[in-house]
Every structure is written in C-alpha cells, then in structure tokens.
Amino acid sequence: MSFTFFTDRLGGYSQGDFSSLNLALHVEDDAKTVARNREVIEQAHGKTVYMNQVHGNNVEVISKATDQVLTCDGLVTNVAGLTLAVLVADCIPLLLSSQNVVAAVHVGRRGLINGVAAKSLAIMRELGADEITATLGPSICGPCYEVDQATYDQVIATHPGAACKTSTGTPALDLPAALVADLAKLSIQCVVDSRCTREDEDLFSYRKSHRTGRQAGLIRL
C-alpha cells in the first residue's frame, strides 16, 4: 500500500513570509534554508523527488532515485521507497495511489483544463496500476477563488462543476469539485482534504499573501 502525507507551513527553518517549512526554491527564499527544510522531509520520508511545475500537462516517470528536477506537473513511479512531491500554495496537490504505482500531480485552473490528472492516470495504468484511488490535499476553496468573468466562462465551458460564487456574489471557481467530477468519470474514488489554503493560517496561500512559501503533497509506495 502507498503512503500519503501533506505538509503545512510549520516545523521548518524559513523566516518571515516563508515561515517556516517552505519547500520551494523559486519563491525568493534563501536556498540554503530551503535545503534544510527539504532535509526535514527526507529525514521523515526518505529520498524525495521534486518538480519544476509550470501549469502544463507533462508527466514524467521516475524509475530511480534522482536529484534531477524535471519540468513537469506530474510524477509517476513504481519504485518502492521513493517519495514524490508536488508543491502548492492554492492549487490542488493530487496524490494517486495504487498497489504498485503512485503519482503526485499539480492541478490548478490550467491543469484542470489541460487534463494533467487524466494523463497521469493513463501513464499509471500503462505501468500496471489497477485499482487507483485519489487524495486531494488542501487547496483554495471555491468561494475564496474569485476570478474575472472571462476566466470563469472559460473554465465552466468544459467544467461546469467548477461554477461557484464568492460571499459577495462575484464569479469564483471550485476547482476541487470540478476535479472530483473529472475523476468520477474515470471511475476514480476520491478522498478530499477540505482545508482551504486561504482560510487556514497553518497553510501557505498565494491568494492570501503573494510573497509566500509552498507546502507539499507527498506519496510513496
């Protein structure tokens, strides 16, 4: 069976806006401090592979432990003991589990539209995954994810389940609801961590404070 875990912003060494367990190198935090934070993760979870995430739908298969950081938005492996990480600060950290293959996937608004989750599932099945389950980690909730009308219209044209409104009635997107609907069509059962990154002070959120760190979704066989 696979192991899944979601970090929060507590228990690391970063200071200020990045306090304290920031795991991202691209957010202007001190690189040596981020390396110390990643050491915390490796001590607890073993060799961990990270991505250079770009809101695309490239998915890479990891066949051995590596320090190489691939530009992609999904990692898949059938190697036991190797931890895959997806970094987020409002997007959905999607962890896909099966008996012999796992995946970590970065699903934001663009990832929802470009089908990165379905592509990751297809690759898992090519590697022999059978019964796959999905765990959605903390992300920004629908009422907190306000968007302009054009963005709203673009997303709900293909994902009507994302339709939502803020507390003041302006357009918003419920990405977790839309992703769960997508996965249901593919016969994937989901577990959803309903914590909202913008509302929970223990989580990093780009919408809450643009200068911020990233937490991780972690999975391994």
Task: Work out the average pLDDT over 49-71.
Answer: 97
Domain-located, residue 37: yes
pLDDT of the residue at 1: 73
Contact 183, 134 (CB under 8 A): yes
Domain-located, residue 184: no
**In angstroms, rounded to a whole number, what is the distance separating the alpha carbons of residues 124 and 118?**
10
Task: Work out the average pLDDT over 174-181.
Answer: 98
pLDDT of the residue at 46: 97
Amino acid at 130: D
Contact 218, 28 (CB under 8 A): no
Alpha helix (H) residue ranges in 50-148: 109-114, 116-126
User: How many Cβ atoms sit within 10 Å of the Cβ of residue 10?
Assistant: 11
Closest alpha carbon to 24 in 219, 205, 215, 220: 215
Q: Summarize pLDDT for 187-201 with one digit per residue, the tens.
A: 999 999 999 999 999
CA atoms within 13 A on the CB side of 170: 9
pLDDT of the residue at 116: 98
**In angstroms, rounded to a whole number, what is the distance separating the alpha carbons of residues 7 and 65?**
21
The residue with tokens 């997107």 is: 173
Q: Which domain holds residue 19?
A: 3-140+189-220
CATH number of 67's domain: 3.60.140.10
Our count of domains for the chain comes to: 1
Contact 59, 73 (CB under 8 A): yes
Answer yes or no: is pLDDT of 98 > 90.
yes
**In angstroms, rounded to a whole number, what is the distance separating the alpha carbons of residues 167 and 164?**
10
Domain-located, residue 168: no
Task: Work out the average pLDDT over 179-186.
Answer: 98
Domain-located, residue 131: yes
Domain-located, residue 202: yes
**In angstroms, rounded to a whole number, what is the distance separating the alpha carbons of residues 58 and 74?**
7
Q: Summarize pLDDT for 155-172 with one digit per residue, the tens.
A: 999 999 999 999 999 999
Q: Summarize pLDDT for 108-149 with one digit per residue, the tens.
A: 999 999 999 999 999 999 999 999 999 999 999 999 999 999
Domain-located, residue 112: yes
Q: Summarize pLDDT for 2-58 with one digit per residue, the tens.
A: 999 999 999 999 999 999 999 999 999 999 999 999 999 999 999 999 999 999 999
Residue 128 structure tokens = 């022999």
**In angstroms, rounded to a whole number, what is the distance separating the alpha carbons of residues 187 and 103?**
17
Domain-located, residue 178: no
pTM summary value: 0.98
